[in-house]
A and B are shown apart, each in its own frame.
Chain A
Amino acid sequence: MSRSPLRIAVVGKGGAGKSVIAGTIARLLARRGHRVLALDSDLMPGLAFSLGASAPSEPPLNDAAERDEDGRWRLRKGIGAFRAVTRYSTEAPDGVRLLEVGKVSGSEGRAPIMPAVQAFYRVIHRLRRAEPLREWTVVGDLPAGPRQTAFDWAPYADTLLLVAEPTWKSALTARRIARIARARRDPPAVVVVANKVTAAADRSRVARMLGEPVAAAIPADEAAATADRLGLALIDHAPSSPAARAIERLVDQLLDSRLPVVSAA
């Protein structure tokens, strides 16, 4: 079983199950000995719940960026990817480090989150070249839809885990994302995961709707829905549930590279 670091970004339509899958994968990899950095670039809550982590109250990265004399954003002096991670990430169970862009609470308006957004974007673009983080596994949870993929919010990713429910909206979204991802100069591998599957035929349905192979199918699961309602991590609330077990098998596949991986078209 491989311990060389994975670099994964989880994408898909809203509600498909990205955060649950990303958070569960992060915890599982950490349990297998990986040093895991979980990245949350969504302004709405999600990943902290599925990691079983307590979220920071203020966007920690608000301190990390500033404007220069021309009004352009930059990371504050002395802050690179490694220092940003060590200083601004918070601790999650199993030793996972969580770096969040921050959440919009709204009472103070949008302005206060902007430094954090600018800092986060710059940090993730330095991850690949950050020598001290070379051995870290990175699992990123992106917000719903194709927007962040289009704006290069997963430059660290070797693999894009594309999560699709067996619905047309989810499939269309996945198609859009795959198209955008593959248009990049150096496209990541695309791995499709069918989630909340209810029928045996769902896996092939999703494959047909997307026009590409499905690497794994995760069943719809009462326990997962309950975990969601309670705001608990699936891996803590129901570690032996069908969904959790299926995500474990997915992790096995990711580590053994025995996936029907669909790279650049």
Chain B
Amino acid sequence: MLGELEGKEEILICDMEAGVGTVLRMEKGDADVVLVVADPSAKSIEVARRAAEIAAERARVIVVANRVRDEADLEAMRAGLGAHELVEVPEDPAVAHAEREGLAPIDVDPDAPAMRALRELGERLAAQTAPP
């Protein structure tokens, strides 16, 4: 699907099906960047490891180390995923609240720590496209 859309004027962001199947089916050029998201669980790190390895053959990969609570979490994620460019997003009560209430976290608190981390990532990515 991503491959069929041009993405020339707009920024396209695609929330894919969970798992490794999607990156396996991607071809070079379908995406410019693949954000591989993981949380501090062993099983999600394992999936992210596989997905990042495969995606790296097709696009630039940035690992989003999500819901990081402490150094132990960060260590676990670095151990599995440190080979890739990594962005840390802290565990954030504002996000938890948003999920419970069915809201966008940015509407709950746009300056919450997790929001700042993702905004920074967004800005870095956008800097590589044409200015708005």
**Complex contact flag A–B (Cβ < 8 Å):** yes
| A14 vs B19: C-alpha distance when bound (angstroms) | 11
Chain A residues closer than 8 Å to B99, beta-carbon distance: 167-169
Number of A-B contacts (CB under 8 A): 66
Chain A residues closer than 8 Å to B100, beta-carbon distance: 166-168, 205
| Interface residues of B, dominant DSSP | helix
* Contact indicator per residue, chain B 49-77, by CB within 8 Å of chain A (1) or not (0): 01101100000000000000000110010
Q: Is the CB of A168 within 8 A of B21?
A: no
Nearest opposing residue in chain B for A167, CB measure = B99
From B18, B53, B73, contact of A144 by CB (8 A) = B18
- Number of chain A interface residues as a range: 20 to 34
Nearest opposing residue in chain B for A49, CB measure = B43
- Number of chain B interface residues as a range: 20 to 34
Nearest opposing residue in chain A for B42, CB measure = A231
Asked if A228 meets B19 with Cβ closer than 8 Å, knowing A105-B50, A109-B24, A168-B102, the reply is: no
* Contact indicator per residue, chain A 39-52, by CB within 8 Å of chain B (1) or not (0): 00001111001000
Chain B residues closer than 8 Å to A14, beta-carbon distance: 18
Not counting A110-B21, A229-B42, a sample of 8 additional A-B residue pairs whose C-beta atoms are within 8 angstroms of each other reads A49-B43, A104-B21, A104-B24, A106-B50, A167-B99, A167-B102, A168-B99, A229-B40
Give me the interface of B with A, judged by CB distance under 8 Å.
18-21, 23-25, 39-43, 46-47, 50-51, 53-54, 72-73, 76, 99-102
